[in-house]
Amino acid sequence: MQLYLFLLICALLVVKPTVNALFLSVAGRDNLSIAFVITALVAVIVSYTYNRLLVTLPLHEITKNSLWFFGAVFVLIGAVVVFDFENIFLSYVFYIFIGIYAILATSQFWVTANIVFNVSQAKRLFGFVGAGGIAGGIAGGYLTSITAPYINNGFLIATAGFMILACVFIYKKVRSLRIVNLKNIKLQKQERVSKKKSLSLIIKNSHLSYLAGVIGLGVVVAKLVDYQFSYLSSVSIPEPDDLASFFGFWFSTFNIISLLIQLFLTKKFLENLNISSNLLVLPTMIVICTSLLFIFPELWVVVLLKGFDGSLKQSLYKSSVELLALPVPSEIKNKTKTFIDVVVDSTATGIAGLLIILIIKGLELPTYTINFIIVIATLFWMYMILKVRSTYLSTFKSSISIKTGLFDKRSNLKVIRENIKVIIDNGNKLDIIEILKKVPQVAHHSLKDPLLKLLDHENDQVKIAAISQLNHVFKEPVYRVHNFIYSKNSELVFAALQYLITQDHIAPQFFENYLDDDDDHIASTALLALAQYASRDSHLGEKYNLHLRIKLFLDEIDENIKEVDLKEKSRLIEAIGYAKYTNYQTIIKTNLNNRNEVIKTSCIKSAGHTKDRYFLQDLFSLLEQPRYRKVASEALVEYGNSLLHFLKVKHSRGTLTKSLLLELPMLLGAINTKKSYKFLIQIASDYTISSNYKCYDKLFNLRQNKKFPRLTGRTAQNLIKKESKRYYKLIRMFYSLKVMSNSDDDITHLPVVNQIKELTIEIEQLIDLQLKVLFNILALRYSPDNIWIAYNGLLSKQTNSQIEAKEYLNEVLHRKLSTQVINATNAYLKLQEKHFDYTNEIQLYPEKTLIKKSILLDEELLENKLVKLLHVMPLSQRKRIVLYLENSEKEGVITFLKRLNINPKEKTA
């Protein structure tokens, strides 16, 4: 591939100086802009013909025949020049033909390169391959410069033709090595071409549209720069032979600089900077040099300007532009890339020509006016570069999603509404209840009928869920809800009254009818609904004398204690909590230890409603009682940020039991404030791997729902660094266990080997969780959906998806983060490789150290397997490990030894 490009560009640089000098001497520099316009028109015709051929002929046949054609025509041009048959018509023909060759032949080469190399290979090899083109430019330029005074230019042009003909055989060899002989089906598929029109494909694909914009504006700027260079050069050097020698020297010099950049800088830039940064280097230098040209309108400045354009455009910029096309599907790319390279390039050339004609000939403005146009066009060019980076990433994301079977979870509101309607009609009760939670975010009048339909559902829980969403969809009252207050289901009655109190504006004292209902069940439930609502709107509590009503209920209970229904009493206790009456807190406090589950549960809820620190310790202690854990947790969540200080003190003093520690992540996540999330991140690494994963998984979900603030870059880096240490420790443990399982094949030790394999599986599962933790941390810094797609792409069995995901992360993430995460993923993928030589690459743990570190992970399932392993081990081996563990003062190791139940005689043996 390098030789192929070398010959293509060498031929171009042999011919271009001669043809340029011929054109300027015969047609004159004033007609250069006209040549630009004609080249654009011819390019459109060539592109149309080329696209028609793509429909009927294979891509490789077109590429091969194009090389034959260009080679033959170059030989013919050489013959014409040898016989000195020069006129203005032929000078135009030669100039235009060279322009078409320059863009079409190189475009075909890069299409081939895109087929042969994937993204990873391209980043590694495009610099090397591109160096061949630059070297060809150097060789061709100097060949022309040195031989022009001694050899007829026609012979040089004919020589260039034979160089192109040699490319035919190189192209055949590339195909035979990379595609045909290897029978690479994927590469053969990449030679397919879409049947749709190129222009239509480009317009519909935003990435291709911006790519065309970047290339087009780049060409406009380049042609304007080239015009300035040619114009000032011809003014300073009027002699054609001297001018040809001058062009040959500087073109070759620019290529030497370009080669040095390509060999020593391009690869580093591509690997360490994102694609937009690499693309912006060239336009930035052009703006600087053009600004300098305003101050010093001299030949050396325009040489400097052309130098940056010529050297960077063929090295760093060229490699970066070619990378932009890599994520585009092959069928579309093969059809559109040549169109962009030929038509867009030539059209841009024509536009540049028209600008020059308008400014210089039409308006007769001074030449330096071109400098203003260069600056303005370059600024637009830089804008398009910033836009194309966004579409470049989106294209990678889309490609990964398709290949891994993933799709963006986000749906537009209309789609969500349609999903709600479908599930309401066809889903089970759990699906309906879950989907109704989305109603607030997509509230719309089209959901009225589906919600009303659910009020007739056979399941009361579905009715309750539907009632809770009515206010999001209906502006007017839904009177049917009133009928539910006569239900035997207390929860449904409460849901109905919760809704009805929000409709109190219907009439004066509207809700009083429910508060004074003859049915104590309805009246007490209405009181609870009032107390709950009044905790947010005190005016309503005053309107209906909430304090007095609670006191009257309490007095009635005291008088008829034996006759009062337990549920009625429990509702009153909850109402006390909402009302926040300190006078009645002793009632709640006393009944927190009530033996009756209904009363105790109500007291727990009521304590949470008060948000009073007086109940904190009691509620927190209840978390250790499985029966009351859920309701106690919900009560504590009501405290919000005021709970955090209490938790921080408990955590810092180390007074939390293991079961309470495990409850913290859910508590902090449910509180749902910035402070609670910050505290959760602080304590996450204190947990076992499985609990730590639950913490970050919770944070991931919150971040995905936009309920979690974005982490700072430094915080994310510190967390990744900390969690990576734990990750690589697990990797070492995994391979150390592999060594243990392979160390002895004696059949008598088969139980030991089996237990080690079970341990290995458990460690592998922990590695999987820890890798997810790393990506969850990334999701707290970057877009969760994007990170989720990249994660699945990296773990895909498709190599292309892995490569695209790595490139995507390289572009999105900070360089240090992407390196850490991709290295971690590579280590994970190597776990699946059967022939990975881990003994030379991984620092393994000794057997005793491995057992100890496994214990200190404090994972219950892992410990169970460790106990089984030690029990099936040979006595001498087990004794050696136990003695080693007994020297440890770690609490986890001491606890583990107690679980072993080692025979005392065995310990002293």
Please report which residue ranges of 405-545 form alpha helices under DSSP H. Answer: 413-426, 429-436, 448-454, 460-467, 470-473, 490-501, 512-515, 520-534, 538-543
Q: Report whether pLDDT(771) > 90.
A: yes
Which class for 715: exposed (0-12), middle (13-18), buried (19 or more C-beta within 10 A)?
middle
Contact present, 534 and 540 (Cβ < 8 Å): yes
290-301 tens-digit pLDDT: 988 888 877 888
Q: How far apart are CA 122 and CA 437, in angstroms?
A: 47
Which class for 904: exposed (0-12), middle (13-18), buried (19 or more C-beta within 10 A)?
exposed
Which class for 704: exposed (0-12), middle (13-18), buried (19 or more C-beta within 10 A)?
middle
Report, as an integer, the average pLDDT of 451-471.
90
Please report which residue ranges of 544-595 form alpha helices under DSSP H. Answer: 546-559, 566-579, 585-591
Q: Which pair of structure tokens corresponds to residue 608?
A: 């949470």
554 pLDDT band (50/70/90 cuts)?
Answer: confident
Q: How far apart are CA 849 and CA 14, in angstroms?
A: 69
Q: Which residues contact 854 (CB under 8 A, 6 or more apart)?
A: 733, 759, 763, 862, 866
**Mean pLDDT, the chain, integer:** 81
Q: Which pair of structure tokens corresponds to residue 111?
A: 């299409």
Q: How far apart are CA 104 and CA 350, in angstroms?
A: 16
Please report which residue ranges of 176-205 form alpha helices under DSSP H. Answer: 185-189, 198-204
Q: How far apart are CA 662 and CA 660, in angstroms?
A: 5
- Work out the percent of the chain whose per-residue pLDDT is above 70: 89
Q: Report whether pLDDT(87) > 90.
A: no
Residue-level pLDDT at 829: 82
187 pLDDT band (50/70/90 cuts)?
Answer: very low
369 pLDDT band (50/70/90 cuts)?
Answer: confident
Q: Which residues contact 613 (CB under 8 A, 6 or more apart)?
A: 642, 646
pTM: 0.67
Q: Report whether pLDDT(562) > 50.
A: no
SS3 content of the chain, % helix, strand, coil (to 5): 80, 0, 20
CA distances from 487 to 242, 450, 482, 498, 527 (A): 103, 22, 10, 14, 17
727 pLDDT band (50/70/90 cuts)?
Answer: very high
Q: Report whether pLDDT(404) > 70.
A: no
Residue-level pLDDT at 84: 66
Contact present, 772 and 697 (Cβ < 8 Å): yes
Q: Report whether pLDDT(19) > 90.
A: no
838-854 tens-digit pLDDT: 777 788 888 889 999 98
Highest mean pLDDT among 183-192, 396-405, 897-906: 396-405
**Bigger pLDDT: 87 vs 714:** 714
Q: Report whether pLDDT(631) > 50.
A: yes
Q: Which residues contact 825 (CB under 8 A, 6 or more apart)?
A: 771, 794, 795, 806
Give the residue carrying structure tokens 């498709």.
798
Residue-level pLDDT at 163: 85
Q: Which pair of structure tokens corresponds to residue 335?
A: 């059809």
Of the candidates 307, 294, 297, the residue with the CA atom closest to the CA atom of residue 254: 307
340 pLDDT band (50/70/90 cuts)?
Answer: confident
Residue-level pLDDT at 284: 94
| H/E run at residue 437 | none
The DSSP result for 333-374, as a single string, is HHHHHHHIIIIIHHHHHHHHHHHHIIIIIIS---TTHHHHHH
| H/E run at residue 212 | helix 206-236
Contact present, 21 and 94 (Cβ < 8 Å): no
Q: How far apart are CA 852 and CA 891, in angstroms?
A: 12
Question: Per CATH, which fold does 2-402 belong to?
Answer: Growth Hormone; Chain: A; (1.20.1250)
Give the residue carrying structure tokens 């005021």.
642
Q: Which of 112-121, 729-738, 751-760, 846-855 has the lowest mean pLDDT?
A: 112-121
559 pLDDT band (50/70/90 cuts)?
Answer: low
Q: Which pair of structure tokens corresponds to residue 506?
A: 């219907």
Q: Which pair of structure tokens corresponds to residue 326?
A: 């890599």
Q: Which pair of structure tokens corresponds to residue 193?
A: 């071409």
Report, as an integer, the average pLDDT of 543-548.
86
Q: Report whether pLDDT(335) > 50.
A: yes
Q: How far apart are CA 610 and CA 575, in angstroms?
A: 10
Q: Report whether pLDDT(747) > 60.
A: no
Contact present, 152 and 80 (Cβ < 8 Å): no
Q: Which of 236-250, 619-633, 671-685, 821-835 has the lowest mean pLDDT?
A: 236-250
* H, E, C per residue of 646-701: HHHHHHHHCCCCHHHHHHHHHHHHHHCCHHHHHHHHHHHCCCCHHHHHHHHHHHHH
Residue-level pLDDT at 281: 92
Contact present, 42 and 269 (Cβ < 8 Å): no
Longest CA–CA separation in the chain, Å: 127
CA distances from 19 to 12, 94, 99, 676, 894 (A): 10, 7, 10, 73, 87
Residue-level pLDDT at 635: 92
Q: Which pair of structure tokens corresponds to residue 541?
A: 């509590």
Q: Report whether pLDDT(235) > 60.
A: yes
- Work out the percent of the chain whose per-residue pLDDT is above 90: 11
Q: How far apart are CA 480 and CA 761, in angstroms?
A: 57
Of the candidates 7, 322, 1, the residue with the CA atom closest to the CA atom of residue 135: 7
What region does 611 belong to: left with phi over 0, alpha with psi -120 to 50, or beta?
Answer: left
Q: Which of 35-39, 481-485, 786-790 has the lowest mean pLDDT?
A: 35-39
Residue-level pLDDT at 413: 58
Q: Report whether pLDDT(875) > 60.
A: yes
Compute the C-alpha angle 22/23/24, nearest 5°.
Answer: 95
Q: Report whether pLDDT(643) > 50.
A: yes
Contact present, 400 and 793 (Cβ < 8 Å): yes
Residue-level pLDDT at 908: 45
Residue-level pLDDT at 118: 67
**Bigger pLDDT: 608 vs 32:** 608
Report, as an integer, the average pLDDT of 444-469.
89
Residue-level pLDDT at 77: 78
798 pLDDT band (50/70/90 cuts)?
Answer: confident
Report, as an integer, the average pLDDT of 234-254.
75
Q: Which of 159-163, 208-212, 427-431, 580-584 has the lowest mean pLDDT?
A: 580-584
120-167 tens-digit pLDDT: 676 677 767 777 777 877 777 777 767 766 677 677 778 788 888 888
Residue-level pLDDT at 213: 92
Residue-level pLDDT at 192: 58
Residue-level pLDDT at 484: 92
Residue-level pLDDT at 650: 85
Report, as an integer, the average pLDDT of 681-704.
81
Residue-level pLDDT at 282: 93
Residue-level pLDDT at 889: 79
